[in-house]
């Protein structure tokens, strides 16, 4: 089975081309500005050509979204390409994950689902370095033990730059030292090691609260910056959320 899986986030929209459960290619576009159905149709068609996606072989389209105003228009653009109605999944979609929230975002729910299927028989923490920084925890039996939502790293950095007159935009990379000696190195250290301390604190406190050493997965936009800097993150997987959406929609 060949599927197109789409994660519509507040900052980016990630696409995955899945063949028999494996994502062979993935790409990202910016969530804003919103386009019309025809604009998105043209953009998606061009990207399909770029990544050698054979439209005729796609059997299923699965969408997860935290931007409701975009869900329908993207579904409509994809219908124009494939002639297939998209399957939209969310926290109400049947799965082995048990939660009590009426507010859980689809991305967080998909992260929990992917962790449950991919890393069974252990408690898991999923860190999502997206528009918001989230930490969610799931037990071995699929019970959701809780979620933390904090300001996202890029969101915080953009706010800092916009609210100050002399601080420049910077690239998030591993600092050469903890103590900086110019504005860029000082900001880089603050953003990288400051948020790394927060993330490690989340992991320690969650482990203490659930009385276990959880397996930790990192995903989302800048997870690749933070994962190499700590031994508290077991694996980084930029496709983790997409995999959760695939698990939710594959049998629908």
Q: Which one, of 74, 95, 118, lies nearest residue 217 by Cα?
A: 118
Task: Evaluate whether 170 touches 182 at the Cβ level (below 8 Å).
Answer: no
Examine the residue annotation and report whether 107 is marked as an active-site residue of this protein.
yes
Task: Give the pair of three-digit tokens for residue 174.
Answer: 């591993």
Task: Give the model confidence (pLDDT) of 223-252 as tens digits.
Answer: 999 999 999 999 999 999 999 999 999 998
11 in helix, strand or coil?
coil
Q: Which of 59, 107, 141, 251 is catalytic?
A: 107
Q: What mean pLDDT do residues 137-159 have?
A: 95
Q: Is 199:127 a contact under the CB 8 Å cutoff?
A: yes
Write the pLDDT tens digit of every residue in 66-108.
999 999 999 999 999 999 999 999 999 999 999 988 899 999 9
Which residue is it, tokens 């496709």? 239
């Amino acid at each position: 089975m060949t599927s197109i899986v789409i994660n519509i986030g507040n900052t980016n929209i990630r696409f995955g081309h899945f063949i028999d459960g494996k994502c062979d290619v993935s790409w990202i576009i910016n969530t804003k500005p919103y386009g019309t159905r025809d604009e998105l149709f043209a953009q998606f068609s061009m990207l399909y050509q770029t990544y050698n996606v054979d439209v005729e072989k796609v059997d299923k389209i699965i969408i997860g979204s935290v931007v409701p105003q975009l869900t329908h228009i993207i579904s409509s653009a994809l219908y124009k390409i494939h002639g297939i109605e998209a399957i939209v999944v969310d926290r109400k979609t049947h799965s082995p994950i048990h939660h009590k929230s009426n507010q859980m975002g689809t991305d967080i729910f998909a992260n929990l689902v992917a962790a449950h299927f991919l890393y069974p028989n252990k408690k898991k923490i999923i860190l999502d370095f997206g528009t918001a920084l989230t930490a969610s925890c799931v037990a071995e039996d699929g019970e959701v033990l809780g979620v933390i939502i904090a300001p996202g790293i890029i969101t915080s950095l953009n706010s800092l730059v916009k609210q100050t007159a002399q601080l420049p935009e910077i690239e998030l990379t591993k600092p050469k030292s903890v103590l900086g000696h110019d504005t860029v190195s000082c900001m880089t250290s603050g953003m990288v090691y400051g948020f790394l301390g927060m993330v490690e604190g989340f992991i320690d406190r969650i482990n203490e609260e659930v009385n276990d050493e959880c397996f930790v997965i990192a995903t989302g936009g800048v997870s690749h910056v933070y994962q190499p800097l700590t031994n508290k993150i077991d694996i980084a997987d930029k496709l983790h959320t997409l995999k959760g959406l695939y698990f939710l929609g594959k049998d629908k």
